[in-house]
């Protein structure tokens, strides 16, 4: 049962105690500020003025210094976030692959604008910059978990499932938890679900497969100038590139002729 008694910053006694624990993990206590802000969000749904004051008090710094950090990073929210934070990547590749269309469809379907929350408090919608998953474009994230190869139709179904309380599993991760639950994990309090789902999908592993097929490897820690490839000089590298290009063109021509 959650302790509803409060202390400085309007936080529960247990939350304030956990805030005090976080800086002890670091050689320099101030390094704990980022996870501390995530814990504030897990408790209060956003970074509140009270939460900022609590962090400042614990770390012995000013509220202005804490606020400067909280307003710099986009994962810290100054307005209440819904049960699920849905981010649609609208950076270049995702945009041209359909990200812009997905975002427009969701704004209309949910009747919200960017960085706004639905009337029922279930979904906060935001367009986000590169999610570092271009091999699965267009991508979305729900509470920072990947949803790959999305379409306007699948995106609409996704948010409907979330609002209706149906279980949703991320493409390469665990079953989607609430935003506050995930914020607690980002604060450094594990939920023991880190191994749910694959860490990488086939599209991300293509390069690794090519390297293994060709016998390429990373240089050893004590290597000096060794690229780890069979081509160790600029000339050899160029010859290898020409050979690879010729092989590719031959295969393409054979496929065309067939």
- In 3D, which of 214, 217, 207 has the Cα closest to residue 135? 207
Domain 8-72 coded CATH 1.10.390.10: no
69-103 tens-digit pLDDT: 999 999 999 999 999 999 999 999 999 999 999 99
Q: Does domain 84-186 have CATH number 3.40.30.10?
A: yes
**CA 122 to chain CA mean position, Å:** 19
14 has pLDDT over 60: yes
Pick the range with the lowest mean pLDDT from 58-67, 72-81, 131-140, 194-203: 194-203
What pLDDT is stored for residue 92 in this prediction? Answer: 93
Which pair of structure tokens corresponds to residue 225? Answer: 């100038």
Is the pLDDT at 215 greater than 70? The verdict is yes
pTM, two decimal places:
0.77
Domain boundaries, the chain: 8-72, 84-186, 214-251
């Amino acid at each position: 049962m959650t302790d509803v008694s409060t202390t400085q910053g309007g936080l529960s006694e247990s939350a304030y105690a956990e805030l005090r624990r976080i800086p002890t993990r670091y050689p320099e206590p101030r390094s704990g500020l980022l996870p501390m802000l995530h814990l504030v969000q897990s408790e209060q749904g956003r970074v509140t003025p009270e939460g900022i004051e609590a962090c400042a008090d614990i770390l012995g710094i000013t509220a202005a210094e804490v606020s400067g950090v909280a307003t710099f990073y986009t994962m810290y929210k100054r307005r209440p976030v819904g049960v699920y934070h849905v981010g649609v990547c609208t950076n270049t590749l995702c945009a041209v692959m359909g990200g812009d269309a997905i975002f427009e469809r969701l704004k209309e379907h949910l009747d919200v604008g960017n960085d706004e929350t639905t009337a029922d408090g279930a979904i906060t919608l935001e367009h986000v910059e590169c999610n570092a998953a271009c091999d699965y474009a267009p991508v979305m994230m729900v509470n920072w978990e990947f949803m790959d190869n999305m379409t306007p139709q699948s995106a609409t179904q996704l948010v409907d499932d979330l609002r209706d309380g149906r279980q949703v599993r991320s493409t390469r991760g665990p079953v989607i938890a609430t935003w506050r639950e995930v914020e607690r994990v980002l604060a450094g309090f594990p939920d023991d679900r880190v191994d749910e789902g694959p860490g990488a999908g086939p599209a991300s592993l293509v390069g690794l497969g090519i390297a293994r097929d060709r016998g390429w490897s990373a240089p050893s820690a004590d290597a000096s100038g060794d690229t780890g490839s069979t081509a160790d000089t600029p000339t050899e590298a160029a010859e290898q590139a020409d050979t690879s290009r010729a092989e590719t063109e031959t295969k393409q021509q054979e496929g065309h002729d067939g």
